[in-house]
C-alpha cells in the first residue's frame, strides 16, 4: 500500500497570519501574499526582497524591524509612506485585521479596524518572532537587545507589564530631565521610579526563573555547550531600588543620568563563568541566540496557550550540517506557523512547503 505523507501538523494554539498586503516597503511596491498556517517558503536571488517580506510580517507584530531601529529606512525610495495589512487569527478565534503604517513623521497601527493606542498593542494582536542572520547579536551586543528579548516575553505572560514599563520610562525621562536642568528636583521622582522599577524587576526575575528548564534543554540540544543565563536586575542585590537611587545620587548628578534601575538590567550569557561573547565563535553565538529564542517560545506556548508565528531568514547560514539538523528538529517541535526564506527554490529543510512564492525584484509571485 502506498504510504500517505501527512502534512506537517500545526498546534491548535498556533497564531496564524493569512492574507498579507504590503505597499512601499523597501523594494516592494505592491505585494499580496496568502500565507498558509503551516510552512510557507519564499525563495529568490540576493536582493530580490525576501527579507523585506519577513520584515513586513515582523512589523505587523512589533511595530519595528529586526534590521533597523529607523522605520524611515523601510519606506520605499521616492515614496513617503509604507503600509502593511494582515489578517491574523489566534487559536480558534475569528480573523482580525492588523495594520501598520509608517511615514517620515511617525507610525500608526490599527487593530480590528480601530486605531491602536500604542505599538505595544500589536504584540498582543500578533505574536511573532524572527530568527535571522543577525540573531547572534543577542549574545554579542549590549544589554539593550536582551532586555527587549525578555520584555517581549514578559509582556505576553503578564499583560499589565507593558503599562508598568511605559510608566517607568516616563518617570525615568522626567528624572533624567530634572538631573540636567534642576538636580534638586530629581529625587522627587524616586518613589514612583522605585515602586515601578521593583515591579518590573520582579516580573523579569520570575520570567527568567521559569525559563531556566526550557533554556537548559534548548541550549544543550542545540549547542551542546553548558552556557548559562544570569539575570542582572540593574542595581545592587543588597539594596532596595530606593536605597540604590539615593546611593547613586552624587554620580547621577555628575553624569546627569540615572544609573540604578531596571533600564540597566541584563541577562548575562556565560560559558564557564566567562562572557559568552568573548569565548564563543560566531556560529556558536548564533546557536545560543537561537536557543534563547526557542526556549522562550516553548515557555510562552506552555504559559499562554498561544504559539507565535516564527520567521526564519536564511536559516542555514553559518550552521554546519549537524547543528542545522538539531535546529530543524527543535523548530519542528513548536508546530507553529513558519515562514522561511531561501536562495533555493527546492529548499526542503523544514519539510515540504504548503505554499511557495518566488520573490523577484520586489515582486512576490506564487509558484
Ligand atoms: N528604502 C528602500 N527603497 C527601495 N529599495 C530598497 C530600500 N531599502 C532597501 N532596498 C532594496 O531592497 C532590496 C531587497 O532587499 P532584501 O534584503 O529584502 O533582499 P533579500 O532577497 O533578502 O536578499 P539576500 O538574499 O541577499 O538576503 C535590495 O536590493 C535593497 O537594495
Ligand atoms: Mg535577505
DSSP 208: H
Give the closest residue to 129 by CA, choosing from 299, 338, 315: 338
- Relative to the CA of 359, which ligand 1 atom is closest? 21
Residue whose CA lies nearest to ligand 1 atom number 7 = 26
Position 8 scores a pLDDT of 57
Average pLDDT over residues 17-36: 97
For the chain, domain boundaries:
1-127+309-367, 133-281+296-305
Measured in Å, residue 24 CA sits from the centre of ligand 2 at 17
Contacts 24+ apart (CB under 8 A), 238-243: 240/194, 240/198, 241/193, 241/194, 241/197, 241/198, 241/201, 242/190, 242/191, 242/194
Average pLDDT over residues 285-307: 94
pLDDT tens track for 196-207: 999 999 999 999
Where do the H-state alpha helices sit in the chain? 50-62, 120-125, 137-140, 143-157, 161-181, 190-223, 241-247, 249-255, 276-279, 282-304, 321-334
Position 73 scores a pLDDT of 95
- Relative to the CA of 52, which ligand 1 atom is closest? 18
- Relative to the CA of 48, which ligand 1 atom is closest? 21
65 lines ligand 1 (CB under 6 A): no
pLDDT classification of 50: cutoffs 50, 70, 90: very high
Q: Which ligand sits nearest to residue 362's alpha carbon? A: 1
Residue 2 pLDDT > 50: no
Measured in Å, residue 315 CA sits from the centre of ligand 2 at 10
pLDDT classification of 220: cutoffs 50, 70, 90: very high
Q: What is the CA 296 to chain-centroid distance, rounded?
A: 10
47 lines ligand 1 (CB under 6 A): yes
Q: Indicate the top mutation candidate among 30, 48, 70, 343 to test ligand 1's pocket, ranked by most ligand atoms within 8 A of CB.
A: 48
Please, what is the Cα angle at 130 between 59 and 156, to 5 degrees?
75
Sort 5 into a burial class: Cβ within 10 Å, 0-12 / 13-18 / 19+. exposed
Average pLDDT over residues 106-134: 92
Residue 3 pLDDT > 70: no
Q: Does domain 1-127+309-367 have CATH number 3.30.70.600?
A: no
Burial letters 189-227, b for 16+ CB under 10 A, else e: bbebbbebbbbbbebbeebbeebeebbbebbebbbebeb
Domain 133-281+296-305: CATH superfamily, name plus number: RecF/RecN/SMC, N-terminal domain (1.20.1050.90)
| Dist. CA 115–CA 94, nearest whole Å | 19
Residue whose CA lies nearest to ligand 1 atom number 9 = 26
Q: Which residue has the cell 502534512?
A: 7
Residue whose CA lies nearest to ligand 1 atom number 12 = 27
- Relative to the CA of 133, which ligand 1 atom is closest? 27
Q: Which of 35-44, 109-118, 208-217, 245-254 has the lowest mean pLDDT?
A: 109-118
DSSP 303: H
Indicate the average pLDDT of the chain: 94
Amino acid at each position: 500500500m502506498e504510504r500517505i505523507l501527512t502534512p506537517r501538523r500545526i498546534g491548535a494554539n498556533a497564531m496564524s497570519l493569512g492574507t498579507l498586503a504590503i505597499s512601499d516597503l523597501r523594494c516592494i511596491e505592491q505585494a499580496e501574499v496568502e500565507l498558509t498556517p503551516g510552512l510557507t517558503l519564499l525563495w529568490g536571488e540576493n536582493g530580490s526582497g525576501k527579507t523585506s517580506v519577513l520584515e513586513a510580517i515582523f512589523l505587523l507584530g512589533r511595530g519595528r524591524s529586526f534590521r533597523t531601529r529607523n522605520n524611515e529606512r523601510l519606506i520605499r525610495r521616492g515614496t513617503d509612506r509604507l503600509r502593511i495589512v494582515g489578517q491574523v487569527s489566534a487559536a480558534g478565534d475569528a480573523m482580525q485585521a492588523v495594520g501598520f503604517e509608517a511615514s517620515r513623521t511617525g507610525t500608526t497601527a490599527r487593530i480590528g479596524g480601530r486605531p491602536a493606542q500604542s505599538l505595544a498593542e500589536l504584540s498582543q494582536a500578533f505574536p511573532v518572532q524572527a530568527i535571522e542572520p543577525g540573531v547572534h547579536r543577542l549574545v554579542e551586543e549590549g544589554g539593550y537587545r536582551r532586555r527587549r528579548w525578555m520584555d517581549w516575553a514578559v509582556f505576553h505572560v503578564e499583560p499589565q507589564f507593558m503599562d508598568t514599563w511605559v510608566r517607568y520610562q516616563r518617570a525615568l525621562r522626567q528624572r533624567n530631565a530634572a538631573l540636567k536642568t534642576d538636580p534638586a528636583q530629581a529625587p522627587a521622582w524616586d518613589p514612583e521610579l522605585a515602586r515601578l522599577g521593583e515591579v518590573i524587576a520582579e516580573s523579569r526575575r520570575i520570567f527568567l526563573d521559569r525559563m531556566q528548564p526550557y533554556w537548559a534543554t534548548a541550549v544543550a540540544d542545540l549547542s551542546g555547550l553548558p552556557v548559562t543565563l544570569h539575570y542582572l536586575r540593574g542595581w545592587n542585590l543588597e539594596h532596595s531600588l530606593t536605597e540604590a537611587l539615593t546611593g547613586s545620587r552624587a554620580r547621577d548628578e555628575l553624569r546627569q543620568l540615572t544609573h540604578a534601575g531596571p533600564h540597566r538590567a541584563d541577562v548575562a550569557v556565560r560559558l564557564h563563568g566567562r562572557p559568552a561573547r568573548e569565548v564563543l565563535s560566531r556560529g556558536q553565538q548564533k546557536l545560543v541566540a537561537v536557543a534563547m529564542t526557542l526556549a522562550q517560545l516553548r515557555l510562552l506556548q506552555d504559559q499562554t496557550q498561544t504559539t507565535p508565528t516564527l520567521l526564519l531568514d536564511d536559516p542555514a547560514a553559518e550552521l554546519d550540517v549537524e547543528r542545522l539538523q538539531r535546529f530543524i528538529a527543535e523548530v519542528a517541535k513548536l508546530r507553529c506557523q513558519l515562514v522561511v526564506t531561501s536562495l533555493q527554490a527546492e529548499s526542503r529543510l523544514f519539510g515540504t512547503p504548503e505554499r511557495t512564492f518566488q520573490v523577484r525584484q520586489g515582486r512576490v509571485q506564487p509558484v
